[in-house]
């Protein structure tokens, strides 16, 4: 990895993924409370594949879903960043760039997602290569929708869609979309 990017906020450091992040990331992704808005928790292989994909994307694009650590003690607190979406959203220009976050259960409800997302948006503005970001979630995910609103993102009800990677019979298949022009 030759790309070294670190985003720093008052309480967080967002950085490339390191080997030491794999175990806490897998633990977080296996936690049913953290994964309540996902069809199923991730397997160890799925978590490891995500880490590898995120580091490849950082090298390619200059942004990714970063590993997030507490700025004071260095403890892993989650994943937060932006990524080129892996599937097309109907009626949305492609390729779309998605901003997203997932924090450990102990790190939720403290404003960390908003704080880190602001740093990511600032980074994307500085890069100058991304014109618009979107965020997606299930309609019932009020915590994430609140973060989207705090970031100034606009709810786009006309762009609601059924997530193609979620089983058709899942209560989590329907997704809402928010967008923000940079």
**pLDDT, position 109:** 96
Q: What is the pLDDT along the chain (182 residues), one digit of tens a residue?
A: 455 899 999 999 999 999 999 999 999 999 999 999 999 999 999 999 999 999 999 999 999 999 999 999 999 999 999 999 988 888 888 889 999 999 999 999 999 999 999 999 999 999 999 999 999 999 999 999 999 999 999 999 999 999 999 999 999 999 999 999 99
**pLDDT, position 92:** 87
**Cα end-to-end distance, the chain, whole Å:** 28
Q: In whole angstroms, what is the distance from residue 41 CA to residue 29 CA?
A: 6
What is the value of pTM for the model shown? 0.94
Helix (H) or strand (E) holding 154: strand 154-155
**pLDDT, position 64:** 97
**pLDDT, position 9:** 97
Beta carbons of 54 and 66 less than 8 angstroms apart:
yes
93-130 CB burial, b ≥16 within 10 A, e <16: eeebbbbbbbbbeebbeeebbbbbbebbbebbeeeeeb
Instruction: Give CB contacts under 8 A, 24+ apart, made by 121-125.
Output: 121/151, 121/180, 121/182, 122/7, 123/5, 123/7, 123/63, 124/63, 124/82, 124/97, 124/182, 125/182
Peptide bond into 118 cis (omega under 30): no
CATH dotted code for 6-181: 3.40.630.30
Q: What does DSSP assign to residue 37?
A: T
């Amino acid at each position: 990895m030759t790309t070294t990017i670190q985003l720093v906020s008052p309480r967080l450091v967002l950085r490339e993924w390191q080997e030491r992040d794999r175990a806490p990331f897998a633990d977080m992704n296996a936690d049913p409370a953290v994964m309540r808005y996902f069809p199923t928790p991730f397997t160890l292989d799925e978590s490891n594949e995500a880490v590898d994909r995120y580091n490849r994307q950082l090298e390619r694009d200059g942004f990714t879903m970063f590993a997030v650590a507490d700025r004071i003690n260095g403890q892993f607190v989650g994943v937060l960043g932006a990524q080129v979406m892996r599937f097309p959203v109907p009626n949305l220009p492609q390729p779309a760039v998605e901003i997203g976050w997932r924090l450990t259960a102990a790190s939720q409800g403290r404003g960390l997602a908003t704080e880190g997302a602001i740093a990511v948006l600032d980074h994307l503005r500085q890069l100058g290569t991304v014109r618009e970001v979107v965020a997606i979630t299930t309609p019932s995910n009020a915590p994430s929708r609140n973060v989207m609103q705090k970031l100034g993102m606009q709810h786009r009800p006309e762009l609601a869609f059924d997530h193609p990677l979620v089983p058709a019979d899942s209560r989590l298949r329907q997704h809402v979309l928010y967008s923000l022009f940079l």
